[in-house]
Amino acid sequence: MTTSTLPQLYYSIDHCLLCLSRNLKQVVPLQPIPIATPVMHVPDDLRDDPRLYAGVPLNLNLCIDCGQIQVSHKPDVEFEYRNYAYSTSLSAGLRDHFAAYAADVLEANPLPNGFVVEVGSNDGTLLRNFRDRGLKVLGVDPALRIAKEATEAGLPTLAEFFTESLAKKIRAEHGAADVVIANFVTANLQNMVDFAKGVRALLADNGIAVFETQYGADVIEKNLLDTVYHEHVSYYTVTPLRDHYARHGMELIDVKRVPTKGGSIRLTFQPHGAGREPAPIVAEILAEEARKGVTKPAYFEELPRWIARIRDEIGTLVAAEEAAGREVAGWGVSIGTSALLPQFGLSTKIAFLLDDDTKKDPVLCGPDYNIPVVPVDELYARNPGAIVVFAWRYIAAIMEKHRAYLENGGTFIVPLPNVTVIRGADAQPPNTIGL
């Protein structure tokens, strides 16, 4: 792919991805962020193309008809996922989480055909747990390099986008799936109607579909702003998903709250008529969502004010450092960093970014910034007056390793879910949420 053939990188979303209604209302205005983020491997011949780093709108819209929450603009899927670089195994804690996850699925559900299909299987970290128990597994993931490496590791993976057509092909070649799993991928999907049709086409009549995704209510109520970016097109609550899959022949039978990514849900569906009784938690969480009004515009009114307060607080702290002639650094280079920089007015305020991963690109680029990325070893040589911790969930581990920075008069600024300023050798880390 050359610069001249670079596709249109993003598109406006003018309809609900679940019910297809065009009755959308903006409920959370956000600052634009670039399409190119640290989870992408940008081809060398495109690295200097300014279109990759321009700001793309990132407002959250609500479907007034069904309650779906989604971003206002979506990335081009071919460019985004053919160049995808993130591997599941790199995320701290996910290996153990997936091992327990697989055990839960197998304990609750007999698998007569022993066939498990994972959509968005990435490097096969979850599938490995089923394969190692003697089950037949198949992954589906459009990331070309990652799918190839998973297959070579003994976890057969189709380097394809999951569609109804592909689902029918898989069923014809391998038989019906006892379990179809999708983990932290349904939020990324841009055609949820075709996905639901595909799941039902592949699933055995007594099979189950298990989807784990970040819980939209937690994103809004806990201000998990670093998880809001174009790759995550949707922020699901249970009510719209129940209705969506019911329209495509499936019934919600279980919901489990899990701590992953600050607050997630694991939903289990069965084909209509499969006979399992829904767990009591299904009615309970639907009633809770109705009580909170999660499908109504009023539910979102506090979040923009919350974001503005954080922006003002951090702005005051940064201005004090600048007035004293001290640099302000950032900790962590991730897609979450790209998301947070503009929301808190920090794009032009961060002198450099620290990251433990020496393979990260040397510069993080965006619409109005080119921030150097340096090894953590440079912390003490440069000794910034304050560090905004974009990797805020890991503040306890960061403090444990770098207590000397605080002892030398440094300051950690934790931006989420509320601003916490950490100073002094005896300071204790705040509580953080999830993995």
Mean pLDDT of 35-62: 84
Structure tokens that stand for 236 in this block: 């699901």
Q: How far apart are CA 62 and CA 17, in angstroms?
A: 11
Query: What pLDDT, in 10s, does the model give residues 408-419?
Result: 999 999 999 999
The helix or strand, by DSSP H or E, that contains position 210, with its residue range, turns out to be strand 203-214
Q: How far apart are CA 54 and CA 342, in angstroms?
A: 12
The helix or strand, by DSSP H or E, that contains position 164, with its residue range, turns out to be helix 164-174
Structure tokens that stand for 9 in this block: 């990188």
Instruction: Decide yes or no: CATH 3.40.50.720 for domain 302-423.
Output: yes
DSSP string, 79-148: HHHHTB---GGGSTTHHHHHHHHHHHHHHH---SS-EEEEET-TTSTTHHHHHTTT-EEEEE---HHHHH
Mean pLDDT of 59-68: 98
R_g of the chain, CA atoms, integer Å: 22
Nearest to 345 by CA among 318, 381, 382, 384: 318
Nearest to 68 by CA among 208, 247, 206, 280: 247
For residue 175, is pLDDT > 70? yes
Query: What pLDDT, in 10s, does the model give residues 225-283?
Result: 999 999 999 999 999 999 999 999 999 999 999 988 889 999 999 999 998 999 999 99
- Enter the pTM of the model: 0.91
88-300 and 302-423 agree in CATH topology: yes
More confident residue, 18 or 111: 18
331-369 b/e (C-beta count within 10 Å ≥ 16 → b): bbbbbbbbbbbbbbebbebbbbbbbeeeebeeebbbbeb
Instruction: Decide yes or no: CATH 3.40.50.150 for domain 88-300.
Output: yes
The residue extents of the domains of the chain are 88-300, 302-423
Mean pLDDT of the chain: 91
